[in-house]
Amino acid sequence: EAQVTQNPRYLITVTGKKLTVTCSQNMNHEYMSWYRQDPGLGLRQIYYSMNVEVTDKGDVPEGYKVSRKEKRNFPLILESPSPNQTSLYFCASSLTGGGGYTFGSGTRLTVV
Amino acid sequence: GDSVTQMEGPVTLSEEAFLTINCTYTATGYPSLFWYVQYPGEGLQLLLKATKADDKGSNKGFEATYRKETTSFHLEKGSVQVSDSAVYFCALRAGANSKLTFGKGITLSVRP
């Protein structure tokens, strides 16, 4: 089944403790992206990647890192999480050229 | 920059009522347009899309037409069901980085 898989689904952590949210897609998509969803603000892009070893900042990149060493994986790294990063995170992938994205099921992160 | 504006919500309808959710956009060039749906506790699913002016996207009884002259992509359904209760997002994809820009979403509740 074609899908984007995120892990974990739920995560509670403490301020300053480094964490990684994994994302993997099995559709051979070149393009991958991370979004966060917050009430009243909708979905905002954090980082995106056009292909292996090509990443760039989205609208709200502060406090996040990404890497794209393989085509299928695009992990989101929070080096020193803070409470304002409490949010619902989505990974998405697509072919380049204007088609729709396929989204993962989301990761609900709480930073206390 | 690119932007998407959706009508304010929430919207509550009775089953079998007619649905219209307004969406307008601002973009340079010729964006692709999308409607995504998010059911409670789930990720975003692509509902329908249109890639050029006058295209009509349709799926599950929902329709939307890409209107370049009014920069709009309104979502319609002739007879809603309780199972259509969800959050609906209008989005556009444009630019060299293939970024997906979302509206803020609108919550639809359909009562029996």
Taking only the tens place, the pLDDT of each residue in B79-91 is: 999 999 999 999 9
pLDDT at B29 over 90: no
Q: Is A41 on the interface with B (CB under 8 A)?
A: yes
Q: Is A39 on the interface with B (CB under 8 A)?
A: no
Residues of B at the A interface (Cβ-Cβ below 8 Å)? 32, 34, 36, 42-46, 49, 51, 89, 93, 97-100, 102-105
Contact B48, B58 (CB under 8 A): yes
pLDDT mean over B34-50: 93
Sign, Cα dihedral of B9, A89, A2, B56: positive
Question: Residue A7, Cβ neighbours under 10 Å: how many?
Answer: 14
The pLDDT, as a whole number, for residue A98 is: 64
- DSSP letter for B40, please: T
Model pLDDT for residues A65-79, shown as the tens digit of each residue: 999 999 999 999 999
The pLDDT, as a whole number, for residue A97 is: 62
Q: Which of A101, A105, A107, A108 to mutate to test the interface with B (most CBs of B within 10 A)?
A: A101
Instruction: Give percent of chain B above pLDDT 90.
Output: 79
- CB pair distance less than 8 Å for A56 and B97: yes
Model pLDDT for residues A30-66, shown as the tens digit of each residue: 999 999 999 888 899 999 998 999 999 999 999 999 9
Q: Is A98 on the interface with B (CB under 8 A)?
A: yes
Is the pLDDT higher at B29 or at A96?
Answer: B29
The pLDDT, as a whole number, for residue B95 is: 72
Question: Residue A58, Cβ neighbours under 10 Å: how many?
Answer: 18
pLDDT mean over A16-30: 96
Smallest CA–CA distance, residue B58 to chain A, in Å, is 14
End-to-end CA gap in chain B: 41
The pLDDT, as a whole number, for residue B7 is: 87
Q: Which of A27, A29, A43 to mutate to test the interface with B (most CBs of B within 10 A)?
A: A43
Q: How many CB pairs under 8 A join A and B?
A: 53
The pLDDT, as a whole number, for residue A73 is: 97
- CB pair distance less than 8 Å for A43 and B89: yes
Q: What are phi and psi of B21, to 5 degrees?
A: -120, 120
Instruction: Give percent of chain B above pLDDT 70.
Output: 98
Size (chain B), residues: 112
Model pLDDT for residues A90-107, shown as the tens digit of each residue: 999 998 766 789 999 999
